[in-house]
Amino acid sequence: MTKKEKSFSQDEEKVEQGEVEAKVEQPEEIESVKKALAEEKSEKYLANWQRAQADFVNYKRRSEQERAEVVNYANSTLILNMLPVLDDLERALGSVPDELAESPWVDGIRHIYRKLQAVLEAQGISVIEAEGKDFDPNFHEAVMSVEGEEGKVIEETQKGYKLRNRVIRPTKVKVGKGSESPNDDG
C-alpha cells in the first residue's frame, strides 16, 4: 500500500467514525426534538382544552341566565293584557257616585281591585311613579306638551308598569314645556 492509499484509508476510517459519531448524536438530537414537539403539542392541547372548558362555562352561565329570564318574564304578555282590566276597575271606582260609595256592592268591587293588584304585585309588577318627576323616555311616553315646568311630568294619562326591572308599559304623560311669555313684537 502506498502512502497515498494509507492516508486515504485513514481518512476513510475517520469519515466513517465521524459518521458513526454523527449517527450517535442524531438519535439524541431526535429524542430532544421529539420531546420538545411533544411538550409543545401537550401545551397546545392543554390551552385548547382550557379554552373549550371556559367556553363551556360561559355557555352554561348564559343559558342559565336566559332560562331565568324566560321564567321571570314568561307571564309578561298575560300581565300586559290584564293591565287594561286594572285600569277599567280604577276608572269605575273613581266614578262611583257619593250615594253608592258605601254600598256593599262597591266594597266588593274595591276588594276585587285590591286582590288583582296584590296578585300582580306578587308577580313582580310595580307602578312607575311619574307625576312631578323629570320626564324620562325610558319610563314615560309623552302624549302632550302643556304649560308647566319644562321637562317635568305634569299629569299622568295612563299608569305605567314595570315587571321586576323591565318596563312592560310606559306611563303616558303630559310634559311641561315651560310657561308662555307674552310676545313684545306688537
Q: Average pLDDT of 59-71?
A: 90
pLDDT at 20 > cutoff 80:
no
Sequence-ordered list of residues with C-beta below 8 angstroms from that of 170, at least 6 positions apart, any chain = 128, 139, 140, 141, 160
Grouping H, G, I as helix, E, B as strand and the rest as coil, residue 167 is: strand
Q: Are strands 160-163 and 140-146 parallel, antiparallel or unpaired?
A: unpaired
- The pTM assigned to this predicted structure is 0.60
* Cβ atoms of residues 174 and 149 within 8 Å: no
Instruction: Give the pLDDT confidence of 120-159 residue by residue, as tens digits.
Output: 999 889 999 988 899 999 999 999 999 888 889 999 999 9
Do residues 133 and 148 lie in contact, with contact meaning Cβ atoms separated by under 8 Å?
Answer: no
The pLDDT, as a whole number, for residue 28 is: 80
High-pLDDT (> 90) share of the chain, %:
46
Gap between the Cα atoms of 45 and 52, Å rounded: 10
Cβ partners under 8 Å of residue 83, min gap 6 = 161, 169
Q: What is the pLDDT of residues 23-48, one digit of tens each?
A: 445 678 888 888 888 888 888 888 99
| Model confidence at 113: pLDDT above 90 | yes
Per-residue pLDDT band at 76 (split at 50, 70, 90): confident
In this prediction, residue 16 has a pLDDT band, given cuts at 50, 70 and 90, of low
Backbone angles phi, psi at 169, to 5 degrees: -150, 115
Q: Say which residue, 17 or 51, is predicted with more confidence.
A: 51
State the chain's mean pLDDT as an integer: 83
CB within 8 Å of 1: residues ≥ 6 apart:
9
Cell numbers at 60, concatenated: 352554561
